[in-house]
A and B are shown apart, each in its own frame.
Chain A
Amino acid sequence: MQNKLSFHQSAVTLEIIGLPDYSNNENKDQISIISQWKLTIINKPLIEGKIEHLEPIMNAFYMYSNLLIKNEIPIYESKLIDIKAENLYMHNIVLKSSKPDVKPLILKIGNSLLSDTINCFDQLKESSKIRIKKTDLSNNISKKVRFGLNKKVKFFNFVLPPFIAICSLIIFSAPFIYFYNPIEDKEKNELINLNKG
């Protein structure tokens, strides 16, 4: 008999189905081995999958919402899920199936459903009855997002040090142009040589 736990937030319900890990002496109402999950958004098609799909989808939503809030370009792309902002209020989600010949599922959700969904994921993460592997978010960031996040820092790190070095070289060497006169120096050397001779 499998356990079932639901998390609700307004128009979104997240259902987790699985079993406790009896080898760890867990309670029978605990879920550690997730066999299936379902995300129900009112008036939208049902999203369901296995545990290996849940974490990347959760990470995608978290990453995307962070980009939105930080006023960065809100685009998240990965093998499993793409999320893009259509405008300030609507977001396009493309869920790509791992099975061949299955068309991607396209959803359009507003800010209200986006926050409902993330709040459901928050409840799941904070639930003491479900043990979910908490992976480091940054490990799951797609290359495109990762580039977007570090683009500015990397660019400045690359350009700034040589620029400062060249500028300081020019500033320090500029005054010596006025102090050093090659003709005068040549005459001095000749005089020294004459005196020696």
Chain B
Amino acid sequence: MLILETIDLNGIQSLYTISNRLNFNDIFPNKVSIWKVRNNNPLRKSYLKNNIRVDEFDALIKITVEMTRYLYPYIREILQSKEDLKNSSVIWDDFNKRFTELIKERFNLDSMRVKKLLNQTKNDEIIINSLLTLSLCISIEGYQKLKNFLFDF
């Protein structure tokens, strides 16, 4: 989700709009409820062990898939920008810079896994892998695919 927020500058608003469009008003009545569920991520600074419910988890995946569909052209562009190794890409550099900024802003920097995310060589691999995973989940069965990928992770 942080990858999607890196692309969409107005990420949290988009997530909330998509949540409403998918009729998840009962699960996520406001932006704070989405934020609370996202705080189940132990890498976050504001980590809270809320025990995420199955319906919240499913809704979050469906929102992610729907948002990925909208952002697919951008995701594709970022992936493509890294394919030409000879030329340094402005698109990739901008994306990477903003992603790193968001990690520093929201994630617990003392965590080893977060440090790995900020490591330049490891960082490329993680970003490419995450972008590719998202880009493969835009079909109708994308929700199931992303869920399977997450369980295998």
Contacts and interface: CB of A to CB of B under 8 A. Distances in A.
A111 B132 contact: yes
Given A69-B129, A69-B132, A69-B149, A115 B79 contact: yes
B43 to A, nearest CB: 18
A65 to B, nearest CB: 6
Contact of A119 (B79, B125, B139, B149): B139
Interface in A56-94: 65, 68-71, 87-90
A123 interface: yes
Contact of A68 (B72, B132, B138, B140): B132
B133 A89 contact: no
Contacts of B73: 10
Given A89-B85, A89-B128, A122 B141 contact: yes
B80 interface: yes
B55 interface: no
B136 A119 contact: yes
A118 interface: yes
A71 B136 CA distance: 15
A126 B141 CA distance: 8
B83 interface: yes
Interface of B: 72-73, 76-77, 79-80, 82-83, 85, 124-125, 128-129, 131-133, 135-136, 138-142, 149, 152
